[in-house]
A and B are shown apart, each in its own frame.
Chain A
Amino acid sequence: MSLRQSVPQSVPWIAGAALIALPFVHREPYHLHILILILIWSFAYTSWSMMGRFGLVSLGHGGFMGVGAYVTALLWNHLGVSPWLGIPIAMAAAAILAVIVAYPCFRFRITGHYFVLVTLALSGIVLQVITATRDYTGGSLGYTPDRTKGSHLLALQFDDKVTWYLIALGIWALGLVIWRWVDGSMDRYALEAISEDEDAAAAAGVNVTKEKLKITVISALMTSLAGALYCQYQMFISPDTVSGISVSLQMVFAVIVGGLYVALGPTVGAVITILLAEVLRIGFGTRAVGWDNLVYGVLLVVFIIFLPKGILGSILARLKTLRSSWGMR
């Protein structure tokens, strides 16, 4: 009996209903703000682990997120393009960037260390481009989408946190649906075979380049969507918060802590990291600058050494062994 079957079918629905009902019961803006951030980042982390779970470790996702956020905001400010159109354009741009970088990597079998370093450079370069085009993007000082003078719906700008909570919840759920969809598809088996042994997979008839490219594009699309949403919600982006190596590493960290191979792992990671950052921020005030990342870094190293499956992954694995030992009796 697998774990998934053992959980009653109704549990996700009840949990979903409770999450939807939550903002109508509890309207405290600060708590909602934290929840919205957790949901948006959970979605971003889920997008990263779409690739990460198949051994495609990318440190370029900061780049995709930056493209999503900046392209949307730039189109709105300079050309007046509504984010409803701007976000798909930004996602397409991120997907194209992903193909340009990933295709030669996969085609010429740049894997492991090489792949990580190439993607690492990608996020570094996106950061450089944003900084270099400071006449348009505001450089390292950050950038703010113009407040709408017309329709809030058209500009995708809402003052009220409940609306944003529901949007973020919907996107987060979408991320889980995509995860389930990949989980149940043939591509999953192909990608798992590839991550085990590329030659063997190719010999068995798997189109290695195509499969890898497919999951990379899905992942890049999702990440850029997360970046665009973050920008629309926060109404302020800076190269350091949505792009660059530290954002990429932040994704890796959260996913590793939560659990890479389970659907809700990235979410657990987001809950832990964001609560940790908030607790440190409240506890230390402005002196906290740097401390949150210091704790992150130490935890990341400790987790990789002692608990590589992550918190949720380890708990689930433990439950599984417990169950099977019960079943034996």
Chain B
Amino acid sequence: MMDIFDIYLLEAVVNGILLGGVLALLALGLNLIFGVIDVTWICYAELVMIGMYGMYYLVQYFGLSYFVAAPLTILLVAGLGALLHLLVIAPLLSAPPINQLLATGGVLFVLQSFATVAFGIDFRNLGIRLPVLQFAEMHFSYSRLLAFGVALIGMVLVYLFMKRTFVGTAIRAISQDRQIMALMGVDTRRIYLITSALGGALAGLASCLLVLQYDIHPFVGLSFGPITFLICVLGGLGNFVGGFVAAFVFAEIISLGGLFSDLEWGYVLAFAFFIVMMFIRPAGLLARRS
């Protein structure tokens, strides 16, 4: 009896790590935008939702293969990110930060109801069922393994982009000091736009991966949106490494919580943990106590 229990436990731990990969990807996108532009996209998970519909239509209606549809979806969501910045954030850059945040809340409404109106509220799925890997009596779905692997590759690519290219360096510099970089001759508007597109692209990548695991419906964003915000706050907004660590901590809690009860209770447990952590480390997991 104990042996079986341990196997389940181990399986849940591994699945938690696999879930953490995608959550870390989402957290990275949000942190990037917050770190550079100082805005929080409340509608970030809804961008992922639109990306998932993009994948669905490209694969099901246009008969494209998954691997052709994925880059197109990433481009689509990157474009949406840039559009969101141009239409909503740019006019509000000098407004109080709360207004920018609430405006993206309005965009959340728009995207959700747009999906409801355009695609209906039926649950859809891609119709791709990846096999399940059996290893030492444990079961792992390939879709999760793939998601984890690709999410890690995506994050490494972003890291290289930030470290090795001029634009990446400019982005990092702006996130350190917003005013001075304009004086140094960096076109902040361009950098903001690139960052928004990059944040969108990360959401697009996440949607390509999540579409293999979740059914698509207009409110699917709600099943990972709130948890992504918790991760970013726990890791410290704008703190990339903190967000990465927090994503895995949360994924483990959800996965292990779900082992003992429903998945929803995993989320509740994660939230309780979050509140306790706020008392212990209010400035984020990796922040030094002042």
Q: Which residues of A contact B (CB under 8 A)?
A: 55, 57, 59, 100-101, 104-105, 107-110, 112-114, 116-118, 120-122, 124-125, 127-129, 131-132, 244-246, 249, 252-253, 256, 289-294, 296-301, 304-305, 308
Contacts and interface: CB of A to CB of B under 8 A. Distances in A.
B116 interface: yes
Interface stretch (B127-135, B161-169, B189-197, B270-278): B270-278
B88 interface: yes
B113 A125 contact: no
Given A104-B275, A121-B230, A294-B117, A246 B92 contact: no
B91 interface: yes
B102 A104 contact: no
Interface string B95-135: 10111011101111111111011000100000000000000
Q: Which of B108, B218, B233 has the most CB of A within 10 A?
A: B233
B226 to A, nearest CB: 3
A132 to B, nearest CB: 3
A116 B98 contact: yes
Interface stretch (B47-55, B151-159, B259-267): B259-267
A122 B274 CA distance: 11
Contacts of A246: 109, 112
B232 interface: yes
B270 to A, nearest CB: 9
Nearest to A130: B264
Contacts of B222: 124, 127, 244-245
6 contacts: A121-B230, A290-B113, A300-B106, A300-B109, A304-B92, A304-B95
Q: Which 6 interchain pairs have the tightest Cβ spacing?
A: A297-B109, A108-B282, A124-B226, A300-B106, A290-B116, A132-B264
Contacts of A108: 278-279, 282-283
B109 A113 contact: no
A62 B264 CA distance: 18
Interface residues of B, number: 48
B34 interface: yes
Contacts of B180: none
Given A59-B105, A290-B113, A129 B264 contact: yes
Contacts of B34: 113
A253 B109 contact: yes
Contact of B102 (A124, A244, A300): A300
Given A120-B229, A121-B226, A308-B99, A105 B264 contact: no
B278 A112 contact: no
B237 interface: yes
Contact of A304 (B99, B110, B226): B99
B206 interface: no
Interface of B: 34, 40, 42, 88, 91-92, 95, 97-99, 101-103, 105-114, 116-117, 121, 218, 222, 225-227, 229-230, 232-233, 237, 262, 264-265, 267-268, 271, 274-275, 278-279, 282-283
Nearest to A300: B106
A298 B98 CA distance: 17
B117 A291 contact: yes
A249 B88 contact: no
Given A55-B98, A104-B275, A296 B109 contact: yes
A290 B217 CA distance: 13
Nearest to A295: B113
A142 B116 CA distance: 20
Contact of A104 (B98, B229, B265, B282): B282
B275 A101 contact: yes
A297 B278 CA distance: 32
Most-contacted residue by chain B among A107, A127, A131, A294 (CB, 10 A): A294
Contacts of B227: 121, 124
Contacts of A59: 42, 105
B103 A305 contact: yes
Contact of B275 (A100, A131, A291): A100
Given A290-B117, A305-B88, A125 B271 contact: yes
A254 B98 CA distance: 16
A204 to B, nearest CB: 22
A55 B98 CA distance: 8
A48 to B, nearest CB: 12
Most buried by B among A113, A127, A298: A113
Contacts of A113: 34, 40, 97, 101, 237
Contact of A128 (B95, B232, B267): B267
Given A117-B232, A128-B267, A131-B264, A301 B282 contact: no
A226 B73 CA distance: 43
A217 B18 CA distance: 40
Contacts of A105: 278
A316 B270 CA distance: 45
Nearest to A123: B226
Contact of B229 (A100, A121, A256, A305): A121
Contacts of B105: 59, 249, 252-253, 300
B112 A112 contact: no
Given A122-B271, A296-B106, A297-B110, 18 more contacts: A101-B275, A117-B229, A118-B230, A121-B229, A125-B267, A128-B264, A129-B264, A129-B268, A131-B264, A132-B262, A249-B108, A253-B105, A293-B113, A294-B110, A297-B108, A301-B103, A304-B99, A305-B91
